[in-house]
A and B are shown apart, each in its own frame.
Chain A
């Protein structure tokens, strides 16, 4: 079991859970309160378990262009691109952010569950290429030494302005700036996973104390905005409410969910905005073929009409026959109904029902996000 630099702090104030090999905070005062803090004010997550893989060298860009789907050559230092790693069948190995850090250096931020697999995959690919050609590239997994704090919510901007005393206005999504804490460089990126405006701080602390000092400094500065520390529980309810996919739930390779749904491609998951088809990349040929043939299943967002909570693995029915499966589901504190994300076969018309532990519950396919975007989220009307 790996422990975060802030493990003592989390264990003192939070309910802990083992997740992806890490001892993680699930919640502190409760998921509801933490969820609402992010929707109405500001919350902070310690997501240092997420992967940071560094690609360094003159061949780093070419290598990443070939192994991921989006065009990462455009964003200037320091800024990131949402890009997918696919297998040769076009299925999703992981959803990642790749930051151009300058000086032929790129930082890939990836899912904690997928990280060990991705690190070995990239290292093996590099070795294989190295047998046939010169390749000047270092692949270095820096997850264990890197802290990642995510500050999210409508007050996140003001709070980060207060703490780092820099102008964050006009920053675009996934743009990053180097700021300082105690003389040390911290990468501040405009990003997050909650549907709200937010910033993520990457830094390499000298020991647990430095990690705790920064965390507590942010909590102290955030008091006037009623900052709330948030655990993985609220992180999940917030991302589901925003309709975001999660590796291992909505996106995966292989058959991990059930016999019902085979591995998932970007077209099926609705992630084709991250495909730059004008370049060569691993999985592209399979995607071209799928584009020609058309997809058979697609991701849907569902609202439960009845009072019940659907969970991952529940089957979806239409006209009495099973047509798909739920991949994520919860009752979010903001909404008065529960919500689910899943996959359904294309071409079914009629009311849908979800089999929740033996009871058929009526559901309805809706658009994401589940919340009213005029009132909540990054694009709310002020």
Chain B
């Protein structure tokens, strides 16, 4: 589904800081939403975290450098980084081109957080932002 030009993919979970998350068997795959990628503009670098790093919910997971500015990706859950998408080292622009395939990290999570938004809730959240 779309809000204006922004795509929202059904079946994923979302945060108000514009990350998407997909949990399968205790592993959460995290990326940034189409809205986030369009807001930050052309991505130039992704500063990937190290595998094995433990992360806390709502703390910085990694940084995305767009041509214009740096943006932080917040971790939607607490856990340990189990995998990073090395493809983004050479092709950071994939975050702009296919934000929902260009996953950034996978996290082995302890518990699935209960406050993540469903696609409909995230859609309503984006629509609310639009009115400002």
Give the B-binding residues of A (Cβ under 8 A): 15, 26-27, 30-32, 233, 237, 307-309, 311, 330-333, 338, 357
Q: Mark B54-92, 1 if CB is under 8 A from A, else 0.
A: 000000000101011110000000000000000001000
Chain A neighbourhood of B44, CB < 8 A: 309, 331, 338
- Which residue from A237, A308, A357 sits with its C-beta under 8 Å from B67? A237
Among B45, B67, B96, max chain A CB count under 10 A is at B67
Tell me, in angstroms, the Cα distance from A15 to B93 when the chains sit together. 18
Chain A interface, >50% SS class: mixed
* B121 contact set on A, CB distance < 8 A: none
Task: Verify if B118 is at the interface (C-beta below 8 Å from A).
Answer: no
Q: Which residue of B lies closest to A232 (CB)?
A: B68
- Report how far A233 CA is from B67 CA in the complex, Å: 8
A218 nearest CB across to chain B (Å) = 25
A-B residue pairs in contact (CB < 8 Å), sample of 9: A15-B41, A26-B41, A30-B96, A32-B42, A309-B44, A309-B45, A309-B70, A331-B65, A333-B67
Is the beta-carbon distance between A333 and B42 smaller than 8 angstroms? yes
B68 lies within 8 A of A233 (CB):
yes
Q: Size band of the B side of the interface?
A: 10 to 19
> Which one of B41, B68, B70, B89 has the highest number of Cβ atoms from chain A below 10 Å of its Cβ?
B68
Contacts of A357 in B (CB 8 A): 63, 70
Whether B115 sits at the interface, judged by CB under 8 Å, is no
List the A side residues contacting B63 at CB < 8 Å: 357
Residue B50 at the A interface, CB < 8 A?
no
B98 at the interface (CB under 8 A from A): no
User: Which of B44, B63, B96 has the most chain A CB atoms inside 10 A of its CB?
Assistant: B44
Q: Which residue of A lies closest to B38 (CB)?
A: A15
| Residue of B whose beta carbon sits closest to that of A31 | B67
